[in-house]
Chain A
Amino acid sequence: MEITLEVNGRTYSIAPAGRRLLAVLRDDLELLGTKLACGEGACGACGVLLDGRPVNACLLFAEAAEGHEIVTIEGLSTGRAAAVQAAFVAEDALQCGFCTPGQVVSATVLLERTPHPTREEIHETMAGNLCRCGAYPKIERAILRAAGEA
């Protein structure tokens, strides 16, 4: 059975066949920015926006996303999202970069809600996104830079 998904402002008809949103994004829509890492919601590498909120696409049944607005890292290239990405580059806030799309998704929402976050607010909001390279200090600096405070 086909469902309709709205991703990055475009409408797609897909056959989810019981799969998760992450698999549909990567395998059917070829949006490869969103990553599969832990597959159990622990790491945030699969973070996408569902109606503006970061969620783990690896645990989200694709059918459950029908009727909601989905934004992936590919749809986050302007405005505040662009500033966040530029700040990640400027601060060298990654090593392997595998977690970076999820980090940018969470950081963009953080700054939309809290334009001038404290370090504590950054730590709390970014706690669902792991970086196994340990670039956390630089990620924190990148977010502060994007907020115009570094």
Chain B
Amino acid sequence: MSGYTRPTSVDEALELLTGEGACVLAGGTDLAGQIDRGITAPALLVDLQDAGLGGIERDGDGLRIGAATTLADLAADALAAPYAVLATAAGLAASPLLRNQGTVGGNLCQHTRCWYYRGEEWNCWLGGGDTCFAQIGDHRKHNLEEGECISAHPSDLAPALAVCGATVVVRSLDGEREIPLLDLYRRPTDDNRSLIALARGELVVAVRLPAPPDGSAYLRTGARQAFSFPLVSVAAARRGDSVTLAAAGVANIPRALDPVDPLAGLPGHPQSAWKRKVLATLVERALASL
């Protein structure tokens, strides 16, 4: 059983998060499932709801989105509307009920839905074991890259924010740093299996966006419309003649795509190669809509 505390400032939260077994609680919709499946067993839940991390505000020509902003608030916010790719992604994630709970920071930092990683009976490579069971088992919904872990990145917001040129504001007791959105993610290695490039004690506090793109779109394919993670999703943004593309569901982290050759480096696996066709189609449609 986890303890619970609700700090009233970011500094207090950061202090609490240095404790052994302390874990960030935002919307909790991913964390609850991880606890239920034994993936994690936090000693202390540090609930951020009163830490002042919610809200969307103008930031120069752009926006600053607090990490505890719910997906529902982001999808409905007038300030976010000019970022069509982002508002669309926020409105398609999860389900209406989950969007009232889930937050921007939590959506970016959620763990993969790989059924071997989530399955209590498997100790997969990503979870610290020796074997990526997906590669020798059922990987119909897994990714298109070669590598030690072929799980599919699940965040709708990550590719959408990436093509908007977003940065992530990360704080710790040592100070603050700001990184390009895609740098929030890392390829897991033998000695560090994390897909998130945060050090212990670091917290995502906000996402910052430059001025809106001239045109943008978010297209996704899921098993169904609600409570389905993107099997493949494509985010596209255009500034002048320059187009930026990113995708979820095709690598174990969100991936930038080359508009000229979006399938480059994505050979697929025997059961997941169908995603190449979907990816190509979504890219074609996204580019046509810009």
Contacts and interface: CB of A to CB of B under 8 A. Distances in A.
Interface of A: 16-18, 20, 39-44, 47, 50, 53-56, 58-61, 63-64, 106, 124-129
B1 A41 contact: no
A128 B227 contact: yes
Contact of A59 (B4, B6, B32): B32
Contact of A44 (B28, B95, B101): B95
A60 B101 contact: yes
B94 interface: yes
Nearest to B48: A64
* List of 9 A-B pairs having minimum Cβ-Cβ separation, nearest first: A128-B95, A127-B226, A18-B1, A128-B97, A63-B4, A59-B32, A53-B100, A128-B96, A42-B227
Nearest to B225: A127
Interface in B18-45: 25, 28-29, 32-33, 36, 45
B72 interface: yes
A61 B100 contact: no
Contacts of A50: 100
A44 B29 CA distance: 13
B123 interface: no
A128 B101 contact: no
Contacts of B101: 55-56, 59-60
A79 B97 CA distance: 22
B30 to A, nearest CB: 9
Contacts of A64: 4, 6, 25, 28, 47, 49
A10 B94 CA distance: 31
Contact of A40 (B36, B49, B225): B36
17 contacts: A17-B1, A20-B32, A40-B33, A42-B227, A50-B100, A55-B97, A59-B32, A59-B33, A61-B4, A61-B25, A61-B32, A61-B45, A63-B47, A64-B28, A127-B96, A127-B225, A129-B97
Contacts of A43: 227
Given A41-B29, A124-B96, A128-B98, 14 more contacts: A41-B33, A41-B98, A42-B227, A53-B72, A54-B97, A55-B101, A58-B32, A60-B28, A61-B32, A63-B45, A127-B96, A127-B226, A128-B96, A128-B227
B192 interface: no
A147 B224 CA distance: 27
A35 to B, nearest CB: 14
B97 A18 contact: no
B141 to A, nearest CB: 15
B47 to A, nearest CB: 5
A106 B36 CA distance: 25
Nearest to A109: B96
Interface in B83-110: 94-98, 100-101
Contacts of B33: 40-41, 59
A17 B1 CA distance: 7
Contact of A56 (B45, B97, B225, B226): B97
B28 A61 contact: yes
A33 B33 CA distance: 23
Contacts of A40: 33, 36
Nearest to A47: B97
Contact of B96 (A17, A18, A60, A106): A106
A54 B1 contact: no
B107 to A, nearest CB: 13
B26 to A, nearest CB: 10
B2 interface: yes
B45 A125 contact: no
Given A18-B1, A40-B36, A125 B25 contact: no
Contacts of B100: 50, 53-55
A127 B228 CA distance: 11
